Structure 1
Amino acid sequence: MNLQQLHYVVEIVRHGNHLSAAAAALSMSQPGVSQQIQLLEQELGLEIFSRTRNRINGLTEAGTIVHSIAQRIAVNLGELKTLKDHIAGGDRGTLTIATTHTPARYLLPHVVRRFLARYPDVRLILRQGNTEQVCAQVEAGEADLAVSTQAGGSFPNLLRLRCRDLTFCVVAPPTHPILSVPELTLEEIVRYPLIAYDGHNKGLKVWKAFAAAGLEPNIAMSGMDADLCKTYVRMGLGIGILAGLSFDAERDQGIEARDASMVLPTSEIGVALRPGTYLHPYLLDFLGSVAPHLTPDVVRRAIRDFDSDHALGSSPVV
């Protein structure tokens, strides 16, 4: 077995199980890659890929585990290659943060300002996407950490650290009756059209709460960010459900907010990172700015516990 063979496994999966595409990316012949995979399977005594007439269909159950291990090894090798540069460079380098809209817009700006002032020789890169996208970037080694809403449950090889709770509010024009009703309930909310920037994502806790109550929100518009949502609410086209973090009474003139934490479940903003990530001091400082309770000792202890639990075959929620 050699590391290159594991790299071939990762590349085949990355290219949608198309052997020819993976071979082209590797600058190898298709038979050469196929032979190396077969040698690896023979040495391990198991099939990594399921096949039909020599055509790869996908990973076997055992192959899924092999691929996961191969991914971790590839990422860890990348960390080793950059370790020397990090140590020699001191407070120089690049920090890549993948983030979802809410923290990018409402949580990180002051963190970024402080970081750039303190580390002028560090290149800070922000990449935005949904939770799945930003976690995938971290898992693939394309980003150092992700700051996102919701949990990255489909990425068991990433350590997730809780940053802060995320409560929700209802926003509406100042004279809207939803703001003055004696008791805010889900039944009251569904009486009005909703302007929702994540209304099509039925997996989110907010929308699950309505489903659990047997209620169907009247979503008039969706698929936009929180600021656009507030724009259309201000026009009187409906009410909005937003993360409390995204509303500012001084900035958001023309609309008002009502706390909905009593009727809508609390979510969270968390950080996801690879356990093998080199914890450069400026990365730890960034984490501490996002969430003061994430001290270097807390982060290192969480990584040790995560590695220990993974060795035992479990995936803890941190």
Structure 2
Amino acid sequence: MNLHQFRFVQEAVRRNLNLTETAKALFTSQPGISKAILELEEELGVDIFARHGKRLRRVTEPGQEVLKSVDIILREVANLKRIGEQFSKQDAGTLSIATTHTQARYFLPAPVSALRKKFPKVQVVLHQGMPEQVARMLLDDVAEIGIATESLATYDELVTLPCYDWQHVMVVPAGHPLAAAERPTLEQLAAEPLVLYHATVTGRTRIDQAFARARLKINVALEAIDSDVIKTYVKLGMGVGIVAETAVRDDPAGGELVARPLGHLFGTNVTRVAFKRGAYLRHFVYAFAEQLSDRLSQALIQRAMAGGTAGAASDYEL
């Protein structure tokens, strides 16, 4: 057996047992993948996959156990590579970060800049996507560190820690009637067309829940995943915007938009930082995490990664 066989099996599962897509992802041929998997099954003496003709239909019960071992083996191979890179290149390498558009645009510029000043030989790669995509990029070893508000804490394969808390704000043109409301109500917002985040990003769940509890219907004019897009359409008069407070923090006073806090309506959201459980983290990954929050330290992250408690996030309070 060899690593190629393990990678073929793992990727086949990731690609929903579609060997054509698996071959494309691994830049090889479909017959070669089929042959390698069959040879591995022969050597192990069990069927990893149940088949219908030449097609893979499902993972068998022994196949589930094989996959667990394959995941561990390939994870440790990735760890070995990182260890080698750390000690051979010292302060050089690539830090891949998976995050959402809002975090990449408003929260991460300062920490990334600080990391580059400290480690000028480290190349930073930002992968932007929806929270579920952020989690998947961590699980697939595309990224070493993930930052998002939604979804990350729901994956047992990830170690997550609170990073910072924030609230939503209302944004309206300066001449809008709600610009004079210091504490807007849900009833006032329900009476307006709203321009807000897509249902799966940036704390949108809390907004939906608040309206549902009050038995009020949301009048959605437009949904987006980017705060700047929301603010642009609000300026055009499409409706009342709801964005993360970080998205208006640097807006000039007396500008086109007026912002009003909505924490009294939607509560506080927590952005989390996540790592793949069992991954080896290089020293500049810890250094970057410490730039994200003064509550994050290498010692705390190491305790969480070691699996001290399932609720490692409770090691400190925001």
TM over 0.5: yes
Task: Tell me the CA shift for residue 196 of structure 1.
Answer: 1.5
Percent of paired sites with the same residue: 30
Tell me how far 1:109 sits from its aligned partner. 0.7
Structure 1 position 58 matched with structure 2 position 61: no
Could you tell me which residue of structure 2 aligns to residue 240 of structure 1? 241
The answer to whether the Cα contact below 8 Å between 2:162 and 2:271 also exists between their aligned partners in 1 is yes
Corresponding residue for 1:36?
Answer: 39
CA contact (8 A) 1:131 1:149 kept: yes
Question: Compared with structure 1, are the counterparts of its residues 168 and 147 closer, same or farther at alpha carbon in structure 2 (3 Å cutoff)?
Answer: same
**Separation in 1 of the partners of 2:168 and 2:236?**
21
Moved more, 69-78 or 2-11: 2-11
Provide the C-alpha distance between the structure 1 equivalents of 2:153 and 2:61, rounded to a whole number of angstroms: 19
In structure 2, the gaps of 5 or more residues are 314-318
1:261 maps to what in 2? Answer: 263
Match of 1:312 in 2: none
The answer to whether the 8 Å contact 2:101/2:128 transfers is yes
CA 1:176–1:63 in structure 2 vs 1: closer, same or farther (change >3 Å)?
farther
User: d(CA) in 2 for partners of 1:38 and 1:249?
Assistant: 58
Aligned residues of 2:198 and 2:204 also touching (Cα < 8 A): no
SS at match of 1:120: coil
Q: Could you report, residue by residue, the CA deviation over 1:92-122 in whole angstroms, capped at 9, with x for unpaired residues?
A: 1111111111111111111111111111111
Q: Give 2:178's aligned amino acid.
A: I
Secondary structure of 1:172's counterpart equals strand
2-structure distance, mates of 1:64, 1:177 = 59
Which runs of structure 2 are paired with 1:66-215 in the superposition (5 Å)?
66-153=66-153, 155-181=155-181, 184-199=184-199, 204-215=205-216
- Which amino acid in the other structure matches residue 172 of structure 2? A
Change in CA separation of 1:251 and 1:76 when aligned onto 2, cut-off 3 Å: farther
Partners of 1:200 and 1:223 within 8 A in 2: no
In the alignment, is the contact (CA less than 8 A) between 1:249 and 1:256 conserved in 2? no
Whether the 8 Å contact between 1:151 and 1:270 is mirrored in structure 2 is no
What is the TM-score with the length of structure 1 in the denominator?
0.85
Q: Are the counterparts in 2 of residues 5 and 40 from structure 1 also a CA contact under 8 Å?
A: no
CA contact (8 A) 1:20 1:30 kept: no
Cα gap change, 1:9/1:40 in structure 2, threshold over 3 Å: closer, same or farther?
Answer: farther
Deviation, structure 1 residue 248 = 2.5
What secondary structure, in the 3-state scheme, does the structure 1 residue paired with 2:265 have? coil
